[in-house]
Amino acid sequence: MNSLRRAGSLRALMIASLVFFLASATQERNLYATPRLYTASAAIDFSQTDRSAVFKVGVGRRDITPREPVPMWGYGDRHDALSNGTLDPLYAVALVIQAGDRKLAIVGLDLGRSPSERSLQNIRKRIKERAGIEHSFIAGSHSHHTPVVELSDEEGKGKGRFDAALRYYQQMEDRITEAVLEADSKLAPAKMAVGSLQLEGFNRNRHTKIEPKPSDRELAVMRFDDMQGNPFAILVNFAAHPTTIPPLTLKFSADYVGAMKATVDKEMGVTTLFMQGASGDQSVNQGSNKGYEAFGRALGQEVLKLARAMTTEEVRKPSLEVMEERFKFTSRTDLSNPMIRTLYERAFFPELIPNYIDEYREGVRPRLTVALLNNEVAFVGASGEFFSNHSIRLKERARVKQLFFLGYSNGYHQYFPTVEAVAEGGYGADNRVSPVEVGAGEEMMNTALLWIYRMLGKIKQ
């Protein structure tokens, strides 16, 4: 009888051990598969073995200046006049962030806008296939001394007349992809800090006549250091049209953005990435800093003061969530009307307009991209020129540690004024340059806000 009891006890012990082992294995698998469960359990530190604790950053850069004369972007009065030189190089600067097993590319381009939809998808496909990067913000700084990027390889849309521009698009796609892949190849553990200040005297509202005139004056900076505390990358976010160079100067330039980046790069020994904000109604306020170089250097000094005051820290609980959607709005401008089409062709040039007709054939379809990094830093990218009150209100309502508003991102669908701006009228709010239906900007910002709170877990699905 005693031997039977002992055998039974032994079997019970073996079963209990097996149950404990299986439970432990299941728990370990869940830790790897669900970072949210991991970050919620505070009793034991698994940061040395848990893949969800990975936080790495890399940066890359490529020259994207056209080598041949091509039509220039930004001012309709130039029509199809070709470029005749370069004031300063145009660059693509890419930042790749890996949080856990997810990667995000943030790419700042010295271009008037994001690449065309065709080019954008080509770039995204290549960085996904070659580096596993599924999420990206690819945005233009909005300099008005950059190449037209909307033409296509079809009769009447660029082919034959502007073949140099078509050759450039392939080169542009290659170099942007290379910048991202370089950044990915340099991924390494990094420390991070974010900060911002209200920068007075550097931008102004150019649209409204009604006081108080809204201006998003936030200068926001993200700094990355290696694990020894040496800075290697700076992301700068500010809202002001880069239009400080005369329109009749047919030479390529990054405008003040290039001078700002060069200033920060030189003095901090970093690679600087600029992301334009909601500058649809924001011009630069040059003050005593006349000219694009002086203004850029002055802005660079403000970035340096802010960045140097930051203290970077290790990211203990890295996470990354991203949502993206293309909206569909009716157009206030009927480009299928022959008379209207002719007016636009005269205002710009004939080969350009059919490409916009193709883009808007199914309505105005802007793209919204929202990312939440480490459960505290939000990026909101929108494919157009958003008026500043959109970003001001979103930042007030989002209640995150820092929100970076990235305009001209992942596409380009012209101006997005506020409802009250449309009611007031004026350039940027009229349907000539803002074809999207009234209220579209507000709908997109409300969606961004909802997504952020869902990512934070404060609003359930």
More confident residue, 46 or 115: 115
Confidence of residue 177 (pLDDT cuts 50, 70, 90): very high
* Mean pLDDT score, 274-282: 98
Please report the beta strands in 80-151, taking only residues with DSSP state E, as ranges in sequence order: 91-99, 102-109, 135-140, 146-147
Q: What is the pLDDT of residue 48?
A: 42
Is residue 278 pLDDT above 70, yes or no? yes
* Mean pLDDT score, 7-24: 41
Confidence of residue 44 (pLDDT cuts 50, 70, 90): very low
Is residue 399 pLDDT above 50, yes or no? yes
Mind listing the pLDDT tens digit for each residue in 344-389?
Answer: 999 999 999 999 999 999 999 999 999 999 999 999 999 999 999 9
Confidence of residue 52 (pLDDT cuts 50, 70, 90): low
What is d(CA 179, CA 176) in angstroms, rounded to the nearest whole number? Answer: 5
The 8-class DSSP code of residue 409 comes to B
Is residue 417 pLDDT above 80, yes or no? yes
Share of the chain above pLDDT 90, in %: 88
Confidence of residue 326 (pLDDT cuts 50, 70, 90): very high
* Nearest Cα residue to 216 out of 9, 11, 29, 403: 403
Q: What is the pLDDT of residue 53?
A: 86
- The set of residues, in sequence order, having a beta carbon less than 8 Å from that of 58 and lying 6+ positions away, is 95, 96, 182, 183, 184, 185, 186, 187, 188
Q: Would you say 131 and 103 are in contact if contact means Cβ atoms under 8 Å apart? A: yes
Is residue 13 pLDDT above 80, yes or no? no
Q: What is the pLDDT of residue 50?
A: 58
The stretches of 314-414 forming alpha helices (DSSP H) are 338-347, 353-359, 388-398
HSE, CB side, 13 Å, CA atoms: give it for residue 283. 13
ω into 212 cis (within 30 of 0): yes
Please report the beta strands in 227-302, taking only residues with DSSP state E, as ranges in sequence order: 231-238, 271-276, 282-284
Characterize the bridge pairing of strands 367-373 and 377-382.
Answer: antiparallel
* Mean pLDDT score, 212-236: 98
More confident residue, 39 or 343: 343
Q: What is the pLDDT of residue 51?
A: 60
Please provide the average confidence, as pLDDT, over all residues in the chain.
91
- The set of residues, in sequence order, having a beta carbon less than 8 Å from that of 402 and lying 6+ positions away, is 194, 195, 196, 220, 222, 376, 377, 378
Mind listing the pLDDT tens digit for each residue in 309-324?
Answer: 999 999 999 999 999 9
Q: What is the pLDDT of residue 461?
A: 74
Q: Would you say 282 and 206 are in contact if contact means Cβ atoms under 8 Å apart? A: yes
